[in-house]
């Protein structure tokens, strides 16, 4: 463990004003910072921090840059402000963004047997695929796809993909033709991601591309359906990798049959291959018809679901459970060259009425106070 992660970091106090946002509560923490629920003019947001020192590498700076590029997509948090501030003899990067209801991983663990129904699992899987499609269209790969990096946004009924600190642009401009081209693979990029969900190529510390995001998506969605993965209890990365190499189509035995077809497509992709998102989307449409899945039906954690009153109605108790899970779940352990990083955690969301108030502050300046970090 680095000295940075072992030393106590300054924290914002409840009621404190940070660049005009009032701190309500701390909802997550990691090696270099924390996440807070904050409010401004009655609207709640998530404020993410990263304290800068010799050990830090400005992960949040990269996340802000990538999130700015994704503001066109409905599958990503809206970014309201980002800046660097002096704080208690240190420097801190902050970003303020959409506050999600809960992380999808937490919603899954709240279900009986820790998995969603087929209807909910299938719809969430498609939404996460759509988020990755939008990210990849923008020339970016995520490199740490998992359910704990997705939040449910109740007002829009969408998964929002966040934690873009590990993201990387996979396209570059060819200096000769001036056209965009796929970046060449680096010789030794190191490990990036989470052992439980990453591809076998990531395990081997190879350069990651779009296919690797889709492998992580595939493992995450299988967990939506089954509640576990064959290697969930395995701690050694090399054994997890070996199990992934051996499992094959057996992994999808209890999933809708369309997933085996998507697996075959992903299995054939090379580092710089372009995934066929339309083909996979069509398989989902086929699945929805075959299983009689309607998008208007309540999801497992929405009011009207048979699970809602018993498992999801008590947000206070659930938030306590969520906070007690921080730093212990293997879903929350992301590594960059074996080093833990900050994890963004959602909290209970504002109402749809509050969401509509966002028009009151349509364009908060991104560098109105302090030094812009991007």
The answer to whether the beta carbons of residues 129 and 77 sit under 8 Å apart is no
Show the tokens assigned to 104.
Answer: 């999808």
Rounded Cα distance between 220 and 146, Å, is: 6
**DSSP 8-state code for residue 143:** S
What φ, ψ does residue 276 adopt, rounded to 5°?
-90, 85
144 tagged catalytic: yes
Q: Could you tell me if 191 and 202 are in contact, meaning their C-beta atoms sit under 8 angstroms apart?
A: yes
Give the active site residue among 58, 113, 134, 144.
Answer: 144
Whats the size of the chain, residue-wise? 374
- 33, 81, 205 from 171: Cα distances, Å: 30, 26, 20
Query: CA 107 to CA 101: how far, in whole Å?
Result: 10
Angle between helices 210-226 and 258-267 (to 10 degrees): 160
- Residue 48 annotated as lining a ligand binding site: yes
> Residue 107: phi, psi to the nearest 5?
-60, -40
- Parallel/antiparallel/unpaired status of strands 43-52 and 339-340: unpaired
Burial class (CB in 10 A: 0-12, 13-18, 19+), 184: exposed
Residue labelled with tokens 């064959």: 230
Question: What residues are annotated to the active site?
Answer: 144
Show binding-site residues: 48
Extract the annotated binding site for ATP: 48
């Amino acid at each position: 463990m680095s000295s940075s992660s072992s030393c106590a970091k300054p924290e914002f106090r409840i009621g404190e004003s940070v660049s005009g946002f009032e701190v309500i509560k701390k909802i997550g923490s990691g090696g270099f910072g924390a996440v807070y629920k904050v409010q401004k003019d009655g609207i709640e947001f998530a404020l993410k921090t990263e304290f800068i020192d010799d050990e830090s590498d400005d992960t949040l700076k990269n996340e802000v840059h990538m999130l700015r590029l994704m503001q066109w997509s409905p599958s990503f948090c809206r970014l309201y402000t980002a800046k660097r501030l002096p704080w208690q003899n240190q420097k801190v990067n902050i970003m303020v963004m959409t506050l999600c209801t809960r992380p999808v991983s937490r919603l899954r663990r709240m279900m009986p047997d820790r998995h969603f129904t087929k209807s909910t699992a299938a719809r969430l899987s498609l939404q996460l695929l759509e988020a990755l499609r939008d990210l990849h269209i923008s020339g970016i790969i995520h490199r740490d796809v998992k359910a704990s990096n997705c939040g449910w946004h109740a007002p829009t009924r969408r998964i929002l993909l966040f934690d873009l600190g590990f993201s990387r642009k996979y396209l570059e401009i060819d200096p000769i033709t001036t056209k965009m081209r796929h970046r060449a693979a680096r010789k030794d990029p190191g490990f990036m991601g989470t052992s439980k969900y990453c591809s076998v190529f990531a395990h081997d510390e190879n350069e990651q591309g779009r296919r690797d995001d889709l492998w992580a998506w595939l493992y995450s969605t299988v967990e939506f359906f089954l509640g576990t993965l064959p290697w969930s209890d395995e701690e050694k990365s090399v054994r997890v990798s070996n199990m992934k190499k051996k499992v094959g189509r057996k992994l999808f035995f209890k999933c809708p049959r369309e997933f085996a077809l998507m697996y075959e497509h992903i299995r054939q992709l090379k580092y710089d291959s372009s995934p066929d998102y339309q083909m996979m989307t069509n398989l989902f449409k086929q699945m929805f018809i075959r299983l009689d899945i309607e998008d208007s039906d309540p999801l497992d954690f929405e009011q009207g679901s048979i699970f809602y009153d018993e498992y999801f109605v008590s947000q206070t108790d659930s938030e306590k459970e969520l906070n007690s899970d921080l730093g212990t779940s293997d879903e929350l352990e992301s590594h960059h060259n074996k080093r833990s990083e900050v994890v963004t955690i959602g909290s209970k969301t504002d109402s749809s009425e509050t969401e509509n108030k966002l028009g009151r502050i349509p364009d908060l300046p991104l560098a109105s106070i302090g030094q812009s970090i991007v």
